Amino acid sequence: MSMNRSLFILLLGLAAAAFGNPPQDPTRPPSAQEIRAFLGEEANASEPVVQRWQLQSILIADQRRMAIINGHRVREGDRIDSAEVIAIEPGRVELHHQSETIVLTLASRRLGGHHE
């Protein structure tokens, strides 16, 4: 890794930590919001708001239900950030956060072709 890239990643991590949002994985590319914060730019109001929790995977077996949210494995009753995992069901996970129920769903990802 080049010295400039290493310095950029270090500075980006410091900037993200200063904004109370330290990166979970130092090898993941920075988000548009992180880049703007690093460069000292204002957020663009026309950009969509990124959901705080991203459901990435669900595993349901006979004796266990697990989900991957923001890269962390969770089970029913676990906490992710300040939200509690209420239910893990096929295709969806319910969280409880500040007296609100939040439903995360898996995005359909189809590559090419039409399927029915």
From residue 66, alpha-carbon distances to 51, 76, 77 in Å are 20, 7, 11
Model confidence pLDDT, tens digit, residues 21-73: 554 666 767 766 667 677 776 655 554 445 688 899 999 998 899 999 988 99
Q: What is the pTM of this model?
A: 0.51
Task: Identify which has the larger pLDDT, 94 or 35.
Answer: 94
Closest-CA residue to 102 (of 90, 114, 85, 115): 85
Mean pLDDT confidence for 95-102: 92
